[in-house]
Structure 1
Amino acid sequence: MLKNGISTKAFRARRALLAGSAAALALPAVAAPLASALAQQDEAGAVAKAVEALRAAMLAGDGAALKAMTMEELTYGHSNSRLEDKAAFVASLDGKNAFKSIDLSDHAIQVVGDTAIARHTFDAVNNLPDGKTSTAHIKVLQVWKKDGGAWKLLARQAAPLPA
């Protein structure tokens, strides 16, 4: 028996109960940020898939896919400062073999709520109308917005990089 009339066994049981209660109270404080981090990681993976799908659609000249994965408010900025809206962007690639290859590297994706920022280096071999080719080595910033459960491109801006 302890001084206050509680048995040593009862004292240990209460101490264990209090320790367990404290751990249970702390669990949501740890679990919520972890769940949020995992959800953002899942969303970043979904954005990466959208970036890849856009690359594939541009390479294939797939106008239907390009329409489906871009917002109506799209602003598409080229590295020479030329801007296109959705209609002009889709029309410039729809049914055309504009690219021989497109390679993306140096990926960085940040998700903030229903918006995502994707950055990468864009290296392409462009097919020109005269049968020749040109190359592009640019840095690209894309802004994606979640719309109806799907990530859609809202804005894109490119900047030239040294050759």
Structure 2
Amino acid sequence: MMEEGQDLITIDEVQRAVSTFNEAMVNPSTELMDSLCADELTYGHSSGLIQNKAAFIDDIVHGPFNFLTLEAADQTITISGNTAIVRHIFLAKGTNAGEPADVRIGNTQVYQKARDGALKLLARQAYKLPN
């Protein structure tokens, strides 16, 4: 439910939020990731692992996977009030524990406009794609 004074979000605003989030995954910091994620974040990996905000941020900043490039292909955005649902193919190159790794997975993200007017990632679920 939207609170009085909250504006609806636009496609451009959502595209910027996704782009900013993807750039932050390539060059993450605890402070930056904290500012982009809702406190209630639930972050689902294609492996089935589910993380809360603190676990996700620790993993992206200090974990074994290091993103070098990231692309959101075939993206669609659906907006409902102050919430946006984003679907795309998550394409990334990186290293996992120092070994080269390519990622190609499906991804659904939910962004919600916070009280301060910023879009925050509320939920993310990755899923395996057929080969």
Please indicate the TM-score interval, normalised by the length of the shorter structure.
0.7 to 0.9
The reply on whether 1:139 has 2:106 as its aligned counterpart is yes
What percentage of residue pairs aligned between the two structures are identical? 35
Q: How far apart are residue 95 of structure 1 and its match?
A: 5.7
Instruction: Give how far 1:51 is off.
Output: 0.4
Equivalent positions of 1:38-117 (< 5 A) are 43-94=10-61, 98-117=66-85
Alignment check: 8 A CA contact 1:57 1:63 kept: no
TM-score normalised by L of structure 1: 0.70
Q: Does 1:149 align with 2:113?
A: no
**Higher helix residue share:** 1
Is 1:62–1:95's contact at 8 Å kept on the other side of the alignment?
Answer: no
Match of 2:87 in 1: 119
Match of 2:3 in 1: none
The offset of 1:152, in angstroms, is 0.4
Partner of 1:81: helix, strand, or coil? Answer: coil
Task: After TM superposition, give the deviation of residue 154 of structure 1 in Å.
Answer: 0.3
Question: In the TM superposition, what is the alpha-carbon distance from 1:121 to its structure 2 partner?
Answer: 0.5
Greater RCO (Cα-Cα under 8 Å, separation 6 or more):
2
* Greater C-alpha radius of gyration: 1
Unaligned runs of 5+ residues in structure 2 are: 1-6
For structure 1, which runs of at least 5 residues remain unmatched after alignment? 1-38
Deviation at 1:62, TM superposition (A): 2.4
Using the TM superposition, give the Cα deviation of residue 43 of structure 1 relative to its aligned residue in structure 2, in angstroms.
Answer: 1.0
More strand by share: 2
The two structures, once aligned, show a CA RMSD in angstroms of 1.7
Aligned residues: 123
Provide the secondary structure at the position in 2 that maps to 1:120. strand
Secondary structure, aligned partner of 1:79 = coil
Q: TM-score, normalised by structure 2?
A: 0.86
Q: Secondary structure at the match of 1:153?
A: strand
User: How far does residue 102 in structure 1 lie from its aligned partner after superposition?
Assistant: 1.0
* Structure 1 residue ranges (4+ consecutive) displaced by more than 2 angstroms after TM superposition: none
State the alpha-carbon separation in 1 of the partners of residues 130 and 70 from structure 2: 18
What's the CA shift for 1:104? 1.2
The code of the aligned residue for 1:64 comes to E
1:108 Cα deviation after fit: 0.4
